Amino acid sequence: MAAPTLDAVLTGLAKDEATGSLRVGKEGTVYYDHGRVSYVECATTPGVEDLLGASGRISANGVRRARQQAGPGGDGGALLVEKGVLSRGELEFCALSATLDAAFFLLTPKTVRTRFKDGDAHWLGVHWFFDVPGLLRECARRRARLERAWPSAELDACPVTPLRRIPGSHALLSRLQWELLLAADSTATPVELARRLGRPAYSTLLAVRELAAAGLVEKAGHAALPKRTPKPPPASPPAPLAAPVPLAAPVPSPGGPGRSASGLPWVNGDATDVNLLLRLRDALEAL
């Protein structure tokens, strides 16, 4: 008999109002509480333990101790809140964020060996819920969001290499993009960088795609530029990059008229340029 798809297994457990943990292949685990998903772990994404460690609020040892203290079926999250490591709001957001991040990479449509362990619970306890359809819907929405930022998966698994020189005169970066560019060493992939920075893997992937859309990172084979004309994409903050360029008058160099860093002449909608082209055309026609 063919094994059921992962989606079917997930939905089935929700229908049975199961409580326990579902091991998904070798990559991760989905925790259920009365049919709702309370937490998801995935080997490729940083879990709550990593995020807490990277935040600097608590050491890796501290996390381990809290985990031991909570014991099986305990509420490690409540323990951390009690100790003042983080607030309840932060704990809920931490669990929610780690869960969505892991779900994005783990719950892809596939057939995989699964094993359900009844009654098993995560050491953090239950702090936020997702219903299964909602969780799968959010994963799909996030996939679409990535596509909108930069419609190619070519950079997702490649080492991130920032450009030595940027095409425009200045660039606008988000905080995560700044951290990414500093940490990028041309060997680490987005997911590896996420782990290093203690940031969710999805946010990192999105930031890399936005950097690609803004033309700030090397693309594999330079033919990978987007086909459509760059209208301001709603998702990429560095989009205004191109706008100030025409304002910045090129510094006249001894080599001739102003040239951009790429060696191409400045092209813009300036009326004088258009007039020059018209005069040139007229002159050529007159020959």
Q: By the criterion CB under 8 A, which residues form the site for another protein? A: 51, 54-55, 57, 81, 84-90, 92-94, 96-97, 100, 128, 138, 141-142, 145, 172, 176, 198-200, 202-203, 206, 234, 237, 239-240, 244
Taking a C-beta distance cutoff of 8 angstroms, is the pair 114, 9 a contact?
yes
Nearer to another protein, 161 or 174 (CB): 174
CB of 267 to another protein, least distance (A): 22
Nearer to another protein, 8 or 153 (CB): 153
CB of 281 to another protein, least distance (A): 36
CB of 128 to another protein, least distance (A): 8
Nearer to another protein, 5 or 87 (CB): 87
Nearer to another protein, 27 or 138 (CB): 138
Taking a C-beta distance cutoff of 8 angstroms, is the pair 22, 29 a contact?
yes
d(C-alpha 182, C-alpha 207), whole Å: 13
Nearer to another protein, 144 or 287 (CB): 144
Nearer to another protein, 9 or 209 (CB): 209
CB of 89 to another protein, least distance (A): 4
Give me the phi and psi of 42, to 5 degrees please.
-145, 140
d(C-alpha 200, C-alpha 45), whole Å: 7
Nearer to another protein, 23 or 83 (CB): 83
CB of 15 to another protein, least distance (A): 24
Taking a C-beta distance cutoff of 8 angstroms, is the pair 156, 142 a contact?
no
3-state per-residue secondary structure call for the chain: CCCCCHHHHHHHHHHCCCCEEEEECCCEEEEEECCEEEEEEECCCCCHHHHHHHHCCCCHHHHHHHHHHHCCCCCHHHHHHHCCCCCHHHHHHHHHHHHHHHHHHHCCCCCCCEEEEECCCCCCCCCCCECHHHHHHHHHHHHHHHHHHCCCCCCCCCCCCECCCCCCCCCCCCHHHHHHHHHCCCCCCHHHHHHHHCCCHHHHHHHHHHHHHCCCECCCCCCCCCCCCCCCCCCCCCHHHHCCCCCCCCCCECCECCECCCCCECCCCCHHHHHHHHHHHHHHHHC
CB of 242 to another protein, least distance (A): 12
CB of 81 to another protein, least distance (A): 7
Nearer to another protein, 113 or 175 (CB): 175
